[in-house]
């Protein structure tokens, strides 16, 4: 990966970009080393120009040093009492956006250390690298800005190195999700997802793949019904990373629709292509396990994903069909486009039957309605446990991947009652689409487990630039889960 160094003395000769991070109102300290490079006069000008630089704002200058043009980016870190991991990661994203050279070798200077957050620069660099991700595999001409090297001048070398060493592994997991989501569905098909899951084996993850025969044997008919219209195989994949059996068992469950055409309840052509990203939940599970395993985290986690393609053919599932789920409940398939919950119904039940996890968190691009409710900022959170929600919210605040809890209230149950079966897979269309979807899932969750469902249909992808990602896949979920799981498992009082 990228060459990143944190050191008290840094080499500046080869670098073409200097980043100066300034914190505190009106504080325009320019580090001595940078002052020596730029000269007193230039430093004075920069200091005067950047006196009132607010949080997240940047100013760029081109300065000639020894005959070479160096690009200087000054970035405002804001008020010291508002410094946080999230504030520096985001700032890193803004800094990256200000870089002009197509190949950047960067030196970072700051006056924002020793204010109780000594890993400031590690967070900043993490933000830069997260923001730098692009997908140019299918472009013959590559255009993106490449960072070749980052040198950070710091008085807190060790803590920055240690922090970055683990952030780098989190970034790896985020990149994995973005890549899987961005790959088109003719490449990222069920077999390719199996391959991605199996690639975790080398990191010490036990991977079990259930194919059609296994799924039939177990009676996973809700999931298999969705797969009926596709020529591609369906799978359930379990990935166990149990490096400390004394920790509570956490199951991560993911919706893995490698493409969702809607089935016979076909989606409109406009925007259908985005449904290649309907396997984001599964990708988040794979990315999180990768991150944890790379860090050698002492945790007890199983990831379970349902991998299916929702298509049309003469053998496709029809509206009105009734299927018997693995749990024994009968489901009327009122709408073939509400397929994610059918897949998850069996995967959630499988999780209970096979693993009896104490905590279950599922990730799914489940409903378009979540975008209506929350836009692209917050993912929808549904849970049967206040305690689990509190813990998730805490992690959410640390990493800046935002969650908003919505009601999982029984009064909406009426909406998914079926005339012919135990339950139907869509509500009557009188609103609350994300809630009725979550309530549907609840029927297949072990009531003894603490369970959270996170609807990422609108946070997994954005048509606009975000602080830490460009237009396209965000990788939302990996940073959140890494924080949540490592935090939970580092507490000594947590027992099985
Ligand atoms: N995969 C979609 C949800 C989705 C929509 C994800 C937009 C990402 C962006 C899901 O399978 C779906 O089609 N849901 C339907 C449910 C409806 C039929 C009750 C929806 O949201 O329209
Ligand atoms: Mn659908
Ligand atoms: Zn879907």
pLDDT at residue 116 in the model = 59
Check: CB of residue 150 under 8 Å from CB of residue 125: yes
Does the beta carbon of 368 sit less than 6 angstroms from any atom of ligand 1? yes
Neighbours of 65 (CB within 10 A): 17
Secondary structure (3-state) at 409: coil
Å from CA of 42 to ligand 3 middle: 56
E strands present in 183-289: 206-210, 235-242, 250-260
Q: Provide the token pair at 164.
A: 């970055």
Does the beta carbon of 460 sit less than 6 angstroms from any atom of ligand 1? no
Å from CA of 368 to ligand 1 middle: 5
Among 280, 337, 339, which is best to mutate for testing ligand 1, by the most ligand atoms less than 8 A from CB? 337
* Span 376-395, average pLDDT: 98
Ligand 1 atom at minimal distance to the Cα of residue 427: 19
When mean pLDDT is compared across 82-86, 325-329, 354-358, 415-419, the lowest value belongs to: 82-86
The Cα 305–Cα 236 span in angstroms is 6
Does the beta carbon of 457 sit less than 6 angstroms from any atom of ligand 1? yes
Residues with catalytic roles: 267, 341
* Span 421-442, average pLDDT: 96
Check: CB of residue 303 under 8 Å from CB of residue 351: no
pLDDT for residue 494 is more than 50: no
The Cα 220–Cα 346 span in angstroms is 6
Q: In what order do the strands lie in the sheet with 330-333?
A: 321-324, 330-333, 423-424
Exposure on the CB side of residue 269, measured as CA atoms within 13 A: 0
Secondary structure (3-state) at 13: coil
Å from CA of 442 to ligand 1 middle: 18
Does the beta carbon of 342 sit less than 6 angstroms from any atom of ligand 1? no
pLDDT at residue 492 in the model = 53
Ligand 1 atom at minimal distance to the Cα of residue 365: 6
Secondary structure (3-state) at 439: helix
* Span 339-359, average pLDDT: 98
Q: Which ligand is nearest to the CA of 433?
A: 1
First to last CA, the chain: 37
Among 261, 367, 376, 472, which is best to mutate for testing ligand 1, by the most ligand atoms less than 8 A from CB? 367
The Cα 280–Cα 278 span in angstroms is 6
The Cα 241–Cα 203 span in angstroms is 9
Does the beta carbon of 278 sit less than 6 angstroms from any atom of ligand 1? yes
pLDDT band at 29 (very low <50, low <70, confident <90, very high): low
pLDDT at residue 2 in the model = 87
pLDDT for residue 31 is more than 80: no
CA 287: distance to chain centroid? 8
pLDDT band at 493 (very low <50, low <70, confident <90, very high): very low
- Where does residue 443 fall: left (phi above 0), alpha (psi -120 to 50 degrees), or beta otherwise? alpha
What confidence tens digit (pLDDT) does each residue in 92-145 have? 999 999 999 999 999 999 988 755 568 999 999 999 999 999 999 999 999 999
Does the beta carbon of 416 sit less than 6 angstroms from any atom of ligand 1? no
What confidence tens digit (pLDDT) does each residue in 224-243 have? 999 999 999 999 999 999 99
Exposure on the CB side of residue 404, measured as CA atoms within 13 A: 14
Does the beta carbon of 415 sit less than 6 angstroms from any atom of ligand 1? no
Secondary structure (3-state) at 492: coil
Does the beta carbon of 431 sit less than 6 angstroms from any atom of ligand 1? no
pLDDT for residue 454 is more than 90: yes
Nearest residue (CA) to ligand 1, atom 17:
338
Any idea of the CA torsion for 479, 203, 158, 116, to the nearest 10 degrees?
A: 20
The Cα 310–Cα 340 span in angstroms is 9
Distances (CA, A) of 371 to 244, 249, 258, 442: 38, 31, 20, 21
Does the beta carbon of 260 sit less than 6 angstroms from any atom of ligand 1? yes
Among 368, 462, 463, which is best to mutate for testing ligand 1, by the most ligand atoms less than 8 A from CB? 368
Nearest residue (CA) to ligand 1, atom 7:
368
Å from CA of 468 to ligand 3 middle: 25
Which residue is associated with the tokens 């990228």?
2
pLDDT for residue 14 is more than 50: yes
Secondary element (H or E) of residue 480:
helix 478-490
Residue 268: DSSP 8-state: P
Continuous H helices in 28-119: 32-38, 40-49, 85-97
Neighbours of 212 (CB within 10 A): 13
pLDDT at residue 47 in the model = 87
The Cα 123–Cα 83 span in angstroms is 11
Å from CA of 489 to ligand 3 middle: 32
Nearest residue (CA) to ligand 1, atom 16:
338
* Span 153-160, average pLDDT: 94
Å from CA of 398 to ligand 3 middle: 29
Å from CA of 180 to ligand 3 middle: 16
Which residue is associated with the tokens 């020529």?
231
What confidence tens digit (pLDDT) does each residue in 157-192 have? 999 999 999 999 999 999 999 999 999 999 999 999
Does the beta carbon of 337 sit less than 6 angstroms from any atom of ligand 1? yes
Residue 388: DSSP 8-state: H
- Domains of the chain plus CATH, in order, are 3-163 (3.40.220.10), 188-490 (3.40.630.10)
pLDDT at residue 1 in the model = 67
The Cα 411–Cα 381 span in angstroms is 18
Check: CB of residue 111 under 8 Å from CB of residue 31: yes
Q: What angle do CA 272, 274, 278 make, to 5 degrees?
A: 105
Does the beta carbon of 338 sit less than 6 angstroms from any atom of ligand 1? yes
Distances (CA, A) of 153 to 39, 44, 161, 364, 409: 18, 20, 12, 41, 53
The Cα 150–Cα 161 span in angstroms is 13
The Cα 439–Cα 341 span in angstroms is 10
pLDDT for residue 340 is more than 50: yes
* Span 477-481, average pLDDT: 98
Ligand 1 atom at minimal distance to the Cα of residue 262: 13
Q: Provide the token pair at 201.
A: 């084996």
Ligand 1 atom at minimal distance to the Cα of residue 265: 18
What confidence tens digit (pLDDT) does each residue in 62-93 have? 999 999 999 999 999 998 888 999 999 999 99
113 φ, ψ to 5°?
-95, 180
Does the beta carbon of 291 sit less than 6 angstroms from any atom of ligand 1? no
Residue 450: DSSP 8-state: E
pLDDT band at 246 (very low <50, low <70, confident <90, very high): very high
pLDDT at residue 315 in the model = 98
pLDDT at residue 52 in the model = 82
pLDDT for residue 483 is more than 50: yes
Å from CA of 263 to ligand 1 middle: 12
């Amino acid at each position: 990966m990228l060459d990143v160094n944190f050191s008290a003395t840094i080499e500046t000769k080869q670098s073409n970009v200097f980043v100066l991070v300034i914190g505190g109102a009106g504080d325009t300290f320019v580090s001595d080393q940078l002052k020596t490079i730029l000269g007193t006069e230039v430093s004075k000008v920069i200091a005067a120009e950047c006196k009132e630089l607010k949080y997240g704002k940047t100013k760029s200058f081109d300065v000639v040093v020894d005959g070479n043009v160096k690009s200087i980016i000054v970035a405002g870190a804001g008020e010291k009492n508002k410094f946080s991991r999230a504030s520096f990661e985001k700032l890193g994203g803004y800094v990256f956006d200000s870089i002009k050279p197509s190949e950047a070798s960067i030196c970072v200077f700051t006056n924002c250390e020793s204010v109780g957050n000594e890993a400031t620069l590690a967070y900043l660099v993490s933000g830069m690298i997260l923001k730098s991700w692009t997908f140019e595999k299918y472009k013959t001409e590559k255009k993106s800005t490449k960072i070749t090297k980052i040198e950070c001048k710091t008085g807190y070398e060790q803590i920055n190195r240690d922090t970055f060493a683990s952030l780098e592994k989190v970034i790896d997991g985020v990149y994995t999700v973005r890549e899987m989501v961005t790959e088109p569905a003719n490449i990222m098909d069920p077999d390719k997802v199996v391959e991605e899951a199996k690639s975790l084996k080398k990191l010490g993850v036990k991977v079990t793949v259930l194919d059609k025969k296994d799924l039939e044997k177990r009676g996973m008919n809700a999931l298999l019904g969705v797969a009926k219209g596709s020529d591609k195989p369906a799978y359930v994949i379990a990935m166990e990373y149990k490096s400390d059996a004394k920790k509570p068992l956490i199951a991560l469950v993911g919706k893995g629709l490698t493409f969702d055409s809607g089935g016979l309840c076909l989606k409109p052509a406009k925007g259908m292509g985005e449904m290649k990203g309907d396997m984001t939940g599964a990708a988040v599970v794979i990315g999180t396990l990768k991150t944890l395993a790379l860090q050698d985290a002492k945790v007890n986690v199983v990831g379970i994903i349902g991998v299916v393609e929702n298509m049309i053919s003469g053998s496709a599932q029809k509206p009105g069909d009734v299927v018997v789920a693995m749990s024994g409940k009968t489901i009327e398939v009122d709408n073939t486009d509400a397929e994610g919950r059918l897949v998850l119904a069996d995967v959630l039940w499988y999780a209970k039957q096979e693993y009896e996890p104490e905590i279950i968190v599922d990730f799914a691009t489940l409903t378009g309605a979540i975008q209506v409710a929350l836009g692209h900022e917050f993912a929808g959170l549904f849970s049967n446990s206040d305690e689990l929600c509190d813990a998730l919210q805490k992690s959410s605040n640390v990493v800046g991947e935002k969650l908003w809890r919505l009601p999982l209230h029984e009064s909406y149950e009426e909406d998914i009652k079926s005339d012919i079966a135990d339950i139907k897979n869509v509500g009557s269309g009188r609103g609350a689409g994300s809630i009725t979807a979550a309530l549907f899932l609840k029927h297949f969750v072990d009531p003894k487990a603490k369970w959270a469902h996170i609807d990422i249909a609108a946070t997994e992808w954005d048509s606009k630039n975000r602080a830490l990602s460009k237009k396209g896949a965000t990788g939302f979920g990996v940073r959140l889960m890494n924080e949540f799981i490592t935090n939970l498992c580092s507490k000594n009082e947590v027992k099985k």
